[in-house]
């Protein structure tokens, strides 16, 4: 056969295991345990006014 030919018998009954292996997946490895604090120096009113300015520019 020529280029791109294949054995059709290899195409039958293909199955893919989609089950997750519970032992190999650790969803807790990226959990954050601690505190995050952020201060931007602006009041809520200043931030709201800035947001209004940004929306008015559009």
| Rounded average pLDDT over 4-9 | 67
Residues 6+ apart with CB under 8 A from 56: none
Residue 29 pLDDT > 60: yes
Please give the DSSP secondary-structure letter assigned to residue 34.
Answer: S
Could you tell me the sign of the dihedral formed by the alpha carbons of 40, 45, 47, 50, in that order? Answer: negative
**What is the value of pTM for the model shown?**
0.33
Residues of the chain with pLDDT > 70: what percent?
53
Q: What is the pLDDT of residue 57?
A: 84
Read off the pLDDT band of 55 (50, 70, 90).
very high
């Amino acid at each position: 056969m020529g280029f791109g030919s294949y054995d059709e018998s290899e195409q039958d009954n293909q199955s893919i295991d989609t089950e997750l292996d519970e032992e190999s997946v650790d969803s807790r490895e990226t959990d954050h345990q601690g505190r995050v604090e952020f201060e931007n120096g602006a009041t809520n009113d200043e931030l709201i006014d800035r947001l209004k300015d940004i929306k008015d520019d559009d």
